[in-house]
């Protein structure tokens, strides 16, 4: 008999009932160190006082009104994002997938309105993940995500990861945009080198096409800059955001330049819940914390510390691990052992990590984890590695 919850997930036999900072408490009382943060969502850990305050005080006043009306919390969050990024304008969604939908629509509408309605193609890359909607799976294009769900949304051109010549050759008079994650998350924590990111920006400028960055997983302080593309010193035309921006409350956004957004006039897009007062009140509190240069400096310091310790772990367990990769607190351990076995051994030792493609385990801890948390994480990962090696 089918379970009452549609069985689309392979769930671990863990039931967390409470969270405190970087810690999760299981129903049986065990305390797990959370290096997954709900897949890069709980940017400020669990039950952060500023987020609890923002949510509860908003909840006592007003939950929902609809985008038929002015929403001051939405305006405040849009202003913060415009002030701190390349963007001139922001649309709020509830998830990364919805951000992908709008990014694709925005790029196509841009060229339609410019009198180039045939420019509909979007170049995407092997190993990418942009969500599970029809546009998201068509954008990623992998058989794993698309099989059985045809007919697929047309207009996506899939290229190998990190192959500049292939991109240059694929751009045609049908190309509207290049869509890429600056650091692939689901694909196995694969950072795009800065030179390649600059190369993509140059190609877009040369051909007058749009650069869309998917910073759903790598954005909001995760790599040690507010947004990952800042490391390459470039700016996109359109950027997808979600996960960390809500700190655990469902919230996403599409950020764009005035030019890229020019086709999105009244009536061209909308969302019932997108930008609701609860989500935006929390988003403002997240931005107040994460956009602070001192906070980001701490993310970078802790990332350096964690990475150094992880290099030691990999060196002392060459039979389990191959390498450390990633950027900031978006780290991956490429495994020699089966990655799921390492994740499961982590559960046995009360540390949470997240599997990814390419036999990688992801470490995406809360950005405000402490030095003590890092020391504890290493002890637990060490025990997990020994367990896997002994098996
Ligand atoms: C890079 C990227 N884009 C898009 C998505 C989809 O986001 P959501 O699951 O919030 O719809 C994800 C989710 O993992 C992601 O990592």
pLDDT digits (tens, 9 = 90+) for 76-107: 999 999 999 999 999 999 999 999 999 999 99
For residue 129, the CA-to-ligand 1 centroid distance in Å is 7
Q: Atom 7, ligand 1: which residue's CA is nearest?
A: 96
- The sheet with strand 16-20 has its strands ordered as 16-20, 23-26, 31-34, 351-352
For residue 343, the CA-to-ligand 1 centroid distance in Å is 21
List binding-site positions for pyridoxal 5'-phosphate: 96-97, 129, 214-217, 272
- The rounded distance, in Å, linking the Cα atoms of 222 and 230 is 12
List binding-site positions: 96-97, 129, 132, 214-217, 271-272
Pocket test for ligand 1, best of 39, 40, 97, 183 (most atoms within 8 A of CB): 97
For residue 19, the CA-to-ligand 1 centroid distance in Å is 22
Q: Which residue has the tokens 């700190």?
A: 247
- The rounded distance, in Å, linking the Cα atoms of 166 and 181 is 17
Left, alpha or beta for 334 (phi > 0: left; psi -120 to 50: alpha)? beta
- Both tokens assigned to 226: 């507010």
- The rounded distance, in Å, linking the Cα atoms of 193 and 20 is 35
For residue 36, the CA-to-ligand 1 centroid distance in Å is 14
The b-or-e profile of 244-262 (16+ CB within 10 A means b, else e) is: bbbbbbbbbbbbbbeebbe
Nearest ligand 1 atom to alpha carbon 215: 1
pLDDT of residue 343: 98
Strands, E assignment, the chain: 16-20, 23-26, 31-34, 89-93, 121-125, 156-159, 175-180, 183-184, 190-191, 210-214, 238-241, 252-256, 321-327, 330-335, 351-352, 354-356, 360-363
pLDDT of residue 33: 98
Q: Within its chain, how far is the Cα of 336 from the centroid? A: 25
Nearest ligand 1 atom to alpha carbon 39: 14
Whether residue 91 contacts residue 264, with contact meaning beta carbons closer than 8 Å, is answered with: yes
Q: Which residue has the tokens 């990418």?
A: 128
Nearest ligand 1 atom to alpha carbon 97: 11
Handedness of CA 129, 281, 26, 306 (dihedral sign): positive
pLDDT digits (tens, 9 = 90+) for 300-323: 999 999 999 999 999 999 999 999
Strands, E assignment, 223-353: 238-241, 252-256, 321-327, 330-335, 351-352
- The rounded distance, in Å, linking the Cα atoms of 43 and 127 is 24
Q: Give the pLDDT means over successive 10-residue stretches in the chain (391 positions).
A: 97 98 98 98 98 98 98 98 98 98 98 98 98 98 96 98 96 98 98 98 98 98 98 98 98 98 98 98 98 98 98 98 98 98 98 98 98 98 98 91
CB atoms within 10 A of CB 282: 28
Nearest ligand 1 atom to alpha carbon 133: 11
Whether residue 350 contacts residue 32, with contact meaning beta carbons closer than 8 Å, is answered with: yes
List binding-site positions for N(2)-acetyl-L-ornithine: 132, 271
Pocket test for ligand 1, best of 216, 228, 327, 362 (most atoms within 8 A of CB): 216
């Amino acid at each position: 008999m089918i379970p009452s919850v549609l069985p689309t997930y392979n769930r671990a036999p863990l039931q967390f009932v409470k969270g405190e900072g970087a810690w999760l408490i299981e129903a049986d009382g065990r305390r797990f160190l959370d290096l997954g943060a709900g897949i890069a969502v709980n940017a400020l850990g669990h039950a952060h006082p500023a987020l609890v305050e923002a949510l509860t005080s908003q909840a006592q006043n007003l939950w929902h009104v609809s985008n038929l009306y002015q929403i001051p919390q939405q305006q405040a969050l849009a202003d913060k994002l415009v002030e701190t990024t390349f963007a001139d304008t922001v649309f709020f969604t509830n998830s990364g997938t919805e951000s992908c939908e709008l990014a694709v629509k925005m790029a196509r509408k841009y060229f339609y309105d410019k009198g180039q309605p045939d420019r509909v193609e979007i170049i995407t890359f092997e190993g990418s993940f942009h969500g599970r909607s029809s546009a998201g799976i068509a954008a990623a294009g992998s058989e794993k995500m698309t099989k059985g769900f045809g007919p697929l949304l047309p207009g996506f051109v899939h290229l190998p990861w990190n192959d500049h010549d292939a991109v240059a050759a694929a751009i045609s008079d049908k190309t509207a945009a290049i869509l890429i994650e600056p650091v692939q998350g689901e694909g196995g924590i694969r950072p795009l080198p800065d030179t390649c990111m600059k190369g993509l920006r140059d190609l877009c400028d040369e051909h007058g096409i749009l650069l869309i960055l998917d910073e759903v997983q790598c954005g909001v302080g995760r790599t040690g800059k507010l947004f990952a593309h800042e490391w390459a010193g470039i700016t996109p035309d359109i950027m997808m955001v979600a996960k960390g921006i809500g700190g655990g409350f469902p919230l996403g956004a599409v950020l764009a330049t005035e030019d890229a957004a020019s086709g999105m006039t009244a009536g061209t897009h909308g969302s019932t819940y997108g930008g609701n007062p609860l989500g935006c009140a929390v988003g403002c509190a997240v931005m107040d914390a994460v956009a602070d240069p001192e906070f980001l400096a701490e993310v970078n310091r802790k990332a350096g510390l964690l990475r150094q310790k992880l290099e030691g772990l990999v060196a002392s367990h060459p039979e389990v691990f191959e390498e450390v990769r990633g950027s900031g607190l978006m780290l991956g351990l490429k495994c020699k052992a089966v990655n799921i076995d390492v994740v499961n051994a982590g559960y046995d030792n009360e540390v949470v990590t997240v599997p990814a493609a390419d036999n990688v385990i992801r470490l995406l801890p809360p950005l405000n984890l402490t030095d003590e948390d890092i020391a504890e994480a290493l002890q637990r990962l060490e025990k997990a590695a020994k367990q896997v090696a002994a098996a």
